[in-house]
Structure 1
């Protein structure tokens, strides 16, 4: 087994650990051959994945937008296993270089910035988004990701998705806040919203959340929106993504869902500000439009319009209790 693994590493099929640079705040892994030319043309796009198992076709779309070339994976936990997943489960990539951050100073490291400059696509892994915010916000790395998004794909899953909107949940507590907790006190200290961590194209009005329905996150997303709208961000909407579901967005802002049956994207559009969003008090919020993005739907991030929605309805929160969430048709 050890001999076989060594052979796979030699062939570039497993993510081989490189010098860790631990003193510089990161570890470094490589899968594939970075010296190979990029076979195709790269193009801008966004991969918004809700976490859990990857939708293979969505990730192949991402690889194709990267010209089947060189991917850089950014994360702040675990090791280089996503490089192996890209190489063996998705396929069609020349190399995958992974940087695992442990300190903020790594976001200033010229070796990481140079690797991003030459990448054909950038993917932000899951984990703990509070580490991403602490390590990357307002650094050369975050500014470079913004610039790279102009002409190459940027993807994220789970925590990576959570920081792809211009607004997101910082998750600075020990555990992620639940929907009942957020609805009970939408302006409380546990509702740690983050503004303008990244500035990705057409995501200015979007507040993202992942693992959506399986973790019952509709209530907390509505609470997040009540919080940011109370602060003056009157046009922000929510985009929740179910596990295993991915929204792929082309360079013009036109999106479609790639997902197993029974999983969706959830567009959450409140009508104005909450009737009551006060520190220490339960949320009151009427007129929250919810639209399901399904496999047949088309979502325009420019206009926030969904064509051929999977379902739609209007929910409300009264005294911290959420009712009226539309259900997908059987």
Structure 2
């Protein structure tokens, strides 16, 4: 063709390789950025009348459309702006692509913070303060705990205090409890290991990042049945009792595919799969400093299936089944109640969509 240079197949291959090399370099640089902000949806923020606060607690990382839509209705009847916070992975818009598909969402901004100092970036704090909902995505909860002394947690609390919503999935769920946070900073731990040696290095805790009233004296954990985490939750609660942090140590474990939406009155509704509330409220025979395995008689367990509700503000005193641990071993299947069914002592939902 006139005016175009003639290139051999080898030359085209060189040109293609060079182009791909530059693209790969650009992607590597983008993934190496310590701070990423990316917005989907409307350019301008909405103006919403808020009627929360509300919490959205997901057993695995991404929110699902149905339960997240129910959560948004607890926050407001107007269109809302959402911020998704991440600390472990490159800029990935999976959560925001789901969220912006909901009719009530005006915009969704993904913020990825890889360096702790960037949690104080003015652009980050401004985006959070102008949002009505803040969601912490999955990853490594230890990375979130590095933000503890930054202004970011206070900015999230301001959103909630004015009637907005927050929560998270997987690692983003693990940081929501108000008793303590199993931080995973020394690596993850399995149920058998935690029950056998509750003071091992990788059973590590940080002081709570948030203090939501609905989650008072509560530890939170994710992937609960899928990864068999009941045993380690029991070890965590036993330790909280032993060190004197509380006389009633509660645990909320949420399975993959499940979400718990808690309204402004503390009434939680389970969506999808199962969730569990676990209570340790009596002196334990072990869990004191040392290498002894856990022995505890009478953990109280509430199994919550999809559609069931649990009053987090006025917690029930009936409807549980008991599970014992003897020398680090569970004496029964902790996920299944005995054949004699129990009736949960729960409040009836209020009007106005459960508000």
Aligning the two structures, in what range does the TM-score lie when normalised by the shorter sequence? 0.7 to 0.9
Of the three residues 176, 180, 196, the one matched with 2:192 is 180
**Does the aligned pair in 1 maintain the 2:136–2:169 contact within 8 Å?**
yes
Report the Cα distance in structure 2 between the residues aligned to 1:171 and 1:318, rounded to whole angstroms. Answer: 25
Correspondence for 1:51: 60
Query: C-alpha deviations, 1:251-309, integer Å up to 9, x for none?
Result: 111111111xxx211010123132111321211111101111123432111122288x6
Correspondence for 1:321: 329
TM-score w.r.t. length of structure 1: 0.85
Which range moved further: 108-117 or 40-49? 40-49
Report the Cα distance in structure 2 between the residues aligned to 1:38 and 1:230, rounded to whole angstroms. Answer: 48
Q: CA deviation at 1:86?
A: 1.1
Listed as ranges, the matches of 1:234-313 within 5 Å are 234-259=247-272, 263-277=273-287, 278-305=289-316, 312-313=320-321
Q: What secondary structure is seen at the aligned counterpart in 2 of 1:282? A: coil
**Runs of 4+ in structure 1 over 6 Å off:** 19-23
Listed as ranges, the matches of 1:129-208 within 5 Å are 129-134=141-146, 136-150=147-161, 151-166=163-178, 167-174=180-187, 176-208=188-220
TM-score w.r.t. length of structure 2: 0.79
Q: What secondary structure is seen at the aligned counterpart in 2 of 1:98? A: strand
Of the three residues 199, 214, 222, the one matched with 1:210 is 222
Report the Cα distance in structure 1 between the residues aligned to 2:266 and 2:208, rounded to whole angstroms. Answer: 19
Report the Cα distance in structure 1 between the residues aligned to 2:71 and 2:220, rounded to whole angstroms. Answer: 19
Unaligned runs of 5+ in 2: 1-26, 342-355
Report the Cα distance in structure 2 between the residues aligned to 1:145 and 1:53, rounded to whole angstroms. Answer: 19
Count of equivalent residues:
303
Listed as ranges, the matches of 1:106-121 within 5 Å are 106-121=118-133
Correspondence for 1:221: 233
Q: What secondary structure is seen at the aligned counterpart in 1 of 2:100? A: helix
Correspondence for 1:14: none
Please tell me the root mean square deviation across aligned C-alpha atoms, in Å: 2.4
Of the three residues 90, 97, 114, the one matched with 2:109 is 97
Correspondence for 1:80: 92
Report the Cα distance in structure 1 between the residues aligned to 2:317 and 2:105, rounded to whole angstroms. Answer: 32
**Does the aligned pair in 2 maintain the 1:275–1:284 contact within 8 Å?**
yes
Q: CA deviation at 1:153?
A: 0.7
**Does the aligned pair in 2 maintain the 1:247–1:258 contact within 8 Å?**
yes
Unaligned runs of 5+ in 1: 1-16
**Does the aligned pair in 2 maintain the 1:264–1:293 contact within 8 Å?**
yes
Q: What secondary structure is seen at the aligned counterpart in 1 of 2:213? A: coil
Query: C-alpha deviations, 1:28-84, integer Å up to 9, x for none?
Result: 111011315346645310011111564422111223325331101111123231211
Report the Cα distance in structure 1 between the residues aligned to 2:302 and 2:217, rounded to whole angstroms. Answer: 16
**Does the aligned pair in 1 maintain the 2:58–2:254 contact within 8 Å?**
yes
Matched, 1:37 2:46: yes
Report the Cα distance in structure 2 between the residues aligned to 1:186 and 1:314, rounded to whole angstroms. Answer: 21
Report the Cα distance in structure 2 between the residues aligned to 1:21 and 1:319, rounded to whole angstroms. Answer: 47
Q: What secondary structure is seen at the aligned counterpart in 2 of 1:202? A: helix
Correspondence for 1:3: none
